[in-house]
Amino acid sequence: MKETPAETHPTAQGDITPVLDEIDRILSEMPPITLEQMKVIKLMNRIDKKYIVNVEQLPVILRMAQGDYYVQETDGLRRFMYKSCYYDTADDQMYTMHCNGKLTRQKIRVREYVSSNLTFLEIKSKSNKGRTSKVRIKVPDTNVLQQEEACNYIDEKARYSHSEIRPRLKNQFYRITLVNKGKTERLTIDVNIEFENCLTGDRNGNKRLCIIELKRDGNVPSPFLNYFMQLRIKAKGISKYCYGMMLTDPTLKRNRFKPKLRYISKVTTGSSNIR
């Protein structure tokens, strides 16, 4: 596997199987919720907060959540593999806008929900007020630029035409989804994240990186915020698309993201202080 030395850390690539096994044991003890039951909290227009932790911290956090949250279960599974392909323009406008700190921006991706055998074309937009909206359609496979309906959808819903974009970055990861007992928020927890650059061919990842995203329509009370306050974990996120691009294409501009890259390195290569 070809790696980008400046951003790859050996201790972030070690075997995490024992940690994943412990996570699965804790999830098995939590009450389940089905996709049908989750329909009341779609949160397609929401405010997001992201948190970056070492995957070794996740068992402690999940134990704290056992009494307050349901875990999504489908066909007996509670941890699901996702695969995504992000699209961008020839001059990487979507990446560059994020890198330059533009508040109003957009991402176009195809996401495969592997365990459900479902694939969606998704367009995510962020407003200058920090709100995220997402629209999507089901597609037969990942080759959306060869599908008339998908191309028309991009031309109608996105700021870019289908002729302007190309596949830029693939990723895969495991996702855990929690819903609070009041059904007013949803949390996604992404672990074992890997990337492949469609142009450079480079592959890279960070097995110890865990990205937790809290999704709410408004400032409703959140048990998870209380956990993070107790554990002194502050909100600090990074786009998986931008992170993967930086890991797999050393030619890209990244000055604005350097503090976050250092933070991720510190979190994922140091020993956890949560036991």
Structure confidence by residue, pLDDT tens digits, 115-170: 889 999 999 998 887 777 899 999 999 999 999 999 999 999 999 999 999 999 99
| Residues lower than pLDDT 50 in the chain | 1-6, 8-11, 271-275
Domains (ranges, CATH) in the chain?
5-269 (2.40.320.10)
- 177 with 79: CB under 8 angstroms? no
Buried b (16+ CB within 10 A) or exposed e, 224-251: bbebbeebebeeebbbbbbbbbbbbbee
User: pTM score, two decimals?
Assistant: 0.88
Distances (CA, A) of 38 to 5, 147, 179, 187: 42, 30, 8, 12
pLDDT for residue 4: 43
